[in-house]
Amino acid sequence: MPDPIDELLAEIRALSHRISSLGPDDHRTASLVEQREALRIQAQHHMESNRHPVAIATQIAALEHRLSEIESLKIGESWAERRSGPYIQDPSAYSHNINKAIDDEYAAEIASITSQLTRLRQVANEADTAGA
């Protein structure tokens, strides 16, 4: 009896082969790529749901730690910025520029980590409800 993940991988390989045989200008390529991505997401979810709960919790902790590391790079407002309060005349104040540059630099990594955390927390919650 074939494993469901093996069937998914066979379908992904078949779609990849069809995509490579078609030209990039073919109108069917986009729909085949979408189908392949949907199957990849299913395969990834199947893989993650079979992971040990401790491994998932460890990865979640590591990702949360990385987010806190990125957040710790930011600086607080200077004394002059805090003291001036709403009367500050420079909208591009010192700490704002630095923190915005940090946000811009790490935006892709933060988005990736956030999506991984969402997916892993969903898998962990499903495992908790299935085990309860």
**pLDDT tens digits, the chain, 132 residues: what are they?**
577 888 899 999 999 999 888 877 778 888 889 999 999 988 888 888 888 999 999 999 999 999 999 999 998 766 666 666 566 566 556 778 888 999 999 999 999 999 999 999 998 888 777 765
Residue with the two structure tokens 């930011």:
74
Listed in sequence order, the residues at least 6 apart from 76 whose beta carbon sits closer than 8 Å to its beta carbon are 95
Q: pTM for the full model?
A: 0.69
Residue with the two structure tokens 């200008």:
25
CA–CA distances in Å: residue 90 to residues 78, 82, 121:
13, 13, 41
Alpha-carbon distance of 101 to 112, in angstroms, equals: 18
pLDDT recorded at residue 131: 61
Residue ranges of domains in the chain: 1-50, 52-132
Listed in sequence order, the residues at least 6 apart from 7 whose beta carbon sits closer than 8 Å to its beta carbon are none
pLDDT recorded at residue 51: 87
Alpha-carbon distance of 102 to 74, in angstroms, equals: 7
Half-sphere exposure of 3 toward its Cβ, with a 13 Å CA cutoff?
7
Listed in sequence order, the residues at least 6 apart from 4 whose beta carbon sits closer than 8 Å to its beta carbon are 46
pLDDT recorded at residue 45: 83
pLDDT recorded at residue 105: 97
Alpha-carbon distance of 33 to 19, in angstroms, equals: 7
Residue 12: what residue type? Answer: I
pLDDT recorded at residue 97: 83
pLDDT recorded at residue 55: 93
